[in-house]
Amino acid sequence: MAYVDFLTAVHSRTERDYVARVTEFPKAEAARRAKQWGYDYWDGDRRVGYGGYSYDGRWRPVAEAIAGHYGLAAGQRVLDVGCGKAFLLFDISEAVPGVEVRGLDVSDYALEHAKPEVRDALDPGTAADLPYDDASFDLVISINTLHNLHCYDLDRALREIERVGRGGKYVAVESYRNEAEKANLLYWQLTCESFYTPGEWEWWFDRTSYSGDHSFVYFE
């Protein structure tokens, strides 16, 4: 298991006003709307979600980095757990012609508005109960998803990722290293249920026998 950072460049592109996040709109109502995983979260008001999540190619460098790091090749199978609108999966399919991609997400809205080119490869479902056979994917990724689970489902999800993967695995989750980053995370997040330091996340990886790679997203 190694720390591999594919996301900092994408994450740092967004400017965030943490105080405004909790003063300009009732935070509890924003979280309630966001956790419905529908229009409000993906394409509605920025204060309750992404504020419009459309394809702009920002994930292509991440896709290329992942493909290169794990040596993806035509004929291999890649699963994205919590794929959202599947922009990253589309970019992986473009970066590695002939690779077979699969995605799963809890949001029916996201799947219905996913990249058309990969929409047929997407499944509704939860990370805690993956509808796939043991050791059926050469690479399993999950980016900015697992921290949205309660601890009991997080435990199951990490074990499920381990179960269905036969090769590389990579998860990225939100974390904090100090009280300032913790406050920023709490101010900004709308859907998180699991808030952990890097050491606590590593405890979870050990507990669930997760053998893949990981990285942490910080709100500095």
Encode pLDDT of 15-61 as tens digits. 899 999 999 999 999 999 999 999 999 999 999 999 999 999 999 99
pLDDT value at 185 more than 90:
yes
Tell me the chain's radius of gyration from C-alpha atoms: 17
145: Cβ contacts below 8 Å, ≥ 6 apart: 81, 82, 127
The domain 8-217 is classified under which CATH number: 3.30.930.10, 3.40.190.10, 3.40.50.10680, 3.40.50.150? 3.40.50.150
Share of the chain above pLDDT 70, in %: 100
Q: Which residues contact 11 (CB under 8 A, 6 or more apart)?
A: 217
Per residue in 85-135, pLDDT (tens digit) is 999 999 999 999 999 999 999 999 999 999 999 999 999 999 999 999 999
Query: Distance between CA atoms of 179 and 132, rounded to whole angstroms?
Result: 39
Q: Which residues contact 22 (CB under 8 A, 6 or more apart)?
A: 187
Which of these, 53, 49, 52, 54, lies nearest to 21 by C-alpha position? 49
- Crossing angle for the helix pair 60-70 and 87-95, nearest 10 degrees? 60
Q: Largest alpha-carbon pair distance within the chain?
A: 50
- Confidence band for 12, pLDDT divided at 50, 70 and 90: confident
pLDDT given for residue 179 in this prediction = 98
- Give me the pLDDT at residue 6, please: 95
Q: Of 199, 203, 140, 208, give the one whose Cα is nearest residue 175.
A: 199
Q: Is 188 helix (H, G, I), strand (E, B) or coil?
A: helix
pTM assigned to the model:
0.96
Domain boundaries defined on the chain = 8-217
Nearest to 79 by CA among 213, 170, 150: 170
Sequence-ordered strand ranges (E) for the chain: 77-81, 100-105, 122-124, 137-143, 165-174, 213-217
Please enumerate in sequence order all residues whose Cβ is within 8 A of that of 74, keeping only pairs 6 or more positions apart, or say none: 96, 97, 98, 99
pLDDT of residue 9: 86
Q: At residue 13, does pLDDT exceed 90?
A: no
Q: What whole-number distance in Å separates Cα of residue 216 and Cα of residue 65? A: 17
Q: What is the pLDDT of residues 71-82, one digit of tens each?
A: 999 999 999 999
